[in-house]
Structure 1
Amino acid sequence: MKKRKIELVVLSDIHLGTFGCHAKELVNYLSSIKPKILVLNGDIIDIWQFRKSYFPSTHLKVIQKIINLASKGTKVYYITGNHDEMLRKFSDLTMGNISLVDKVVLELGDKKAWIFHGDVFDASVQHSKWIAKLGGVGYDYLILTNRLVNWLLFKIGTEPYSFSKKIKSSVKKAVKHISDFEQTATELGIEKKYDYVICGHIHEPKIIKKENKNGSIMYLNSGDWVENLTALEYNYKRWKLYRYKDTNYTEDEDLFEMEDMISSQLIASLIFTEKK
């Protein structure tokens, strides 16, 4: 396979170790690119919901692909998020081409990009962490249920349906939360005189120019690999929002993946019941 050469790729919210993670698709994407710089913008490994009973080989392959890219010359920045915040005690650690940081500023030609996860803007994460963690577990099972439903819809030839996107678009608080998040990030970016502000965290992929009385900035969000399967790509002074489309999709692969997730969930439930 001929790999696409890209100056910069930004990924976030992969959530390795959860049922909702589309690791197989991400492995395919990573196998298709050769970036000079790879930024992993938080929530890569979901330490909040980590289960010993569930870490499939495809999730491990994602890590192997990242290490392989670094060994072949790609500069990798791992920016910590709230779901992998335990790694923040090791911030500013560098091993070869891999650096663990809390944020990073990159010079892209004559412009500057300010990149960070974005959980610092989320009051529920900062002040009510147990609520955020509980919500994370509920979200993971919602995504698992959604994937099962979509598998059944695929079998009968019906278009897939997203529970979480429907909830986000219909609940005014969720819409306001996303809007407030973007506004806060852009206002700070303009104040600091950056050209780009790049976040993750809210699972809402976007590239949009924002303005206020003090100036303008490009706001970018890399989305996630749970619902949207998106990445930000920068090449030839232009940004692109990449959306994964699996052209080699087969029913057998989907069936195997669903069976793997369901069996892992049953094992986890049995272990939890036994402990109680």
Structure 2
Amino acid sequence: MNVGLANVSDSLNSQTPGTTGQPKARRKRRVQVAVISDVHLGTYGCHATELLRYLKSIRPQVLVLNGDIVDIWQFSKNYWPPAHMRVVRYLAGLAAKGVKIHYLTGNHDELLRKFAGLKLGHFRLDNKLVLDLPHGRTWLFHGDVFDVTMQHSRWLARLGGHGYDLLILINRFVNYALAKLGRPRVALSKLVKERVKSAVSAVSNFEETAAAIAADEGYRYVACGHIHQPEIKPLTTEKGEVIYLNSGDWVENLTALEYTAEAGWQLYYYNDDPAMQHPAEPEATDAAEMLADANPAVLLEGLLAEFKLKA
């Protein structure tokens, strides 16, 4: 799907992510595009509360959910806490309010791929997306298509996913203990990946493959998820330079990609945002938040009304 974004408002805030002051004075940052991926709702590692707080801190024109938002692989665990449902409701509220939401499928939510092309109001489900932006055309997709393990040994990939989930759960207990001792957080899985040569090589191959294909197709930027490695860097290919982007995840890194016409693409780090290091302050609710807090019947009624108008 190709989407053009023209007539960018001069009032868009070009403020650098993660540099605002105290929460009480914090206004929602206006961004043209926000991209999140690898949220893994339905798993113990998902930082749903932090994600919801981030989403409430921005006012995007377009929100791209670049795969593995809901972890369908792990549904058998019957783990779906209220915080995870609040994220889903808030996203639905944003769509009902008029924010364009593009859900791009990943490997953990691959069952949705059969519905690619589905459009409900301002919500659209696709496998890939092209955004025509002032800084250059950006090609977005999850990236699991490059994963040989995913293509040929899905049972092995799922087995590895269970081990990863256990490591994340252990990591949470470790970080809880470290916080009590006043020590900095650690990311165990990140440390493991950085020390395993094959993992480092796989990440490098992933990035180079994505950039090469993007260059062949004439794109200036390529944005993926999947590998849980937030990144913005130029890569040289036979067809020229491509800027590789990765939105990271909301399991280990708590990161997002943000685009403004003034600053271009930037990485947002939740843990580096001073405003997010303080307890959340009460704030005025907008239409999206009111819908997010509604009971399921009210939520469904509101969405149906929106779809009748916009579908």
TM over 0.5: yes
Alignment-mate amino acid for residue 221 of structure 1? N
CA distance in structure 2 between the aligned counterparts of 1:248 and 1:84, rounded to whole angstroms: 33
Residues 142-197 of structure 1 show CA distances to partners (whole Å, capped at 9, x for unaligned) of: 00101101101111222222211111110000000000000000000111110110
Runs of 4+ in 1 over 6 A off after TM superposition: none
Alignment-mate amino acid for residue 148 of structure 2? A
CA distance in structure 1 between the aligned counterparts of 2:204 and 2:197, rounded to whole angstroms: 11
Structure-to-structure mapping, 1:11-90, within 5 angstroms: 11-51=36-76, 53-90=78-115
Partner residue of 2:219? 194
CA distance in structure 1 between the aligned counterparts of 2:67 and 2:164, rounded to whole angstroms: 17
Partner of 1:202, secondary structure, is: coil
1:160 to 185, 194, 197: 185
Partner residue of 1:271? none
Preserved CA contact (<8 Å) 2:134 2:261? no
Preserved CA contact (<8 Å) 1:233 1:241? yes
Query: Does 1:247 find its partner at 2:277?
Result: yes
Number of residue pairs aligned between Structure 1 and Structure 2:
250
Question: How far has the Cα of 1:51 moved from its partner?
Answer: 3.7
CA distance in structure 2 between the aligned counterparts of 1:211 and 1:53, rounded to whole angstroms: 45
Distance 1:221 1:248, change over 3 A: same
Question: How far has the Cα of 1:249 moved from its partner?
Answer: 5.0
CA distance in structure 2 between the aligned counterparts of 1:110 and 1:157, rounded to whole angstroms: 42
Partner residue of 2:198? 173
Partner residue of 1:9? 34
Higher relative contact order (CA 8 A, sep 6+): 2
TM-score of the aligned structures, taking structure 1 as reference length: 0.88
For structure 2, which runs of at least 5 residues remain unmatched after alignment?
Answer: 1-25, 281-311
Question: How far has the Cα of 1:110 moved from its partner?
Answer: 6.2
Residues 60-119 of structure 1 show CA distances to partners (whole Å, capped at 9, x for unaligned) of: 111111111111111000000000000011110000000000001111126211000000
TM-score of the aligned structures, taking structure 2 as reference length: 0.78
CA distance in structure 2 between the aligned counterparts of 1:28 and 1:217, rounded to whole angstroms: 32
Residues 2-56 of structure 1 show CA distances to partners (whole Å, capped at 9, x for unaligned) of: 2111100010000000000000000100111110000000000000011453101
Partner residue of 1:218? 243
Structure-to-structure mapping, 1:102-121, within 5 angstroms: 102-109=127-134, 111-121=136-146
Distance 1:165 1:52, change over 3 A: closer
Partner of 2:75, secondary structure, is: coil
Partner residue of 1:273? none
CA distance in structure 1 between the aligned counterparts of 2:61 and 2:279, rounded to whole angstroms: 29
Preserved CA contact (<8 Å) 2:136 2:220? yes
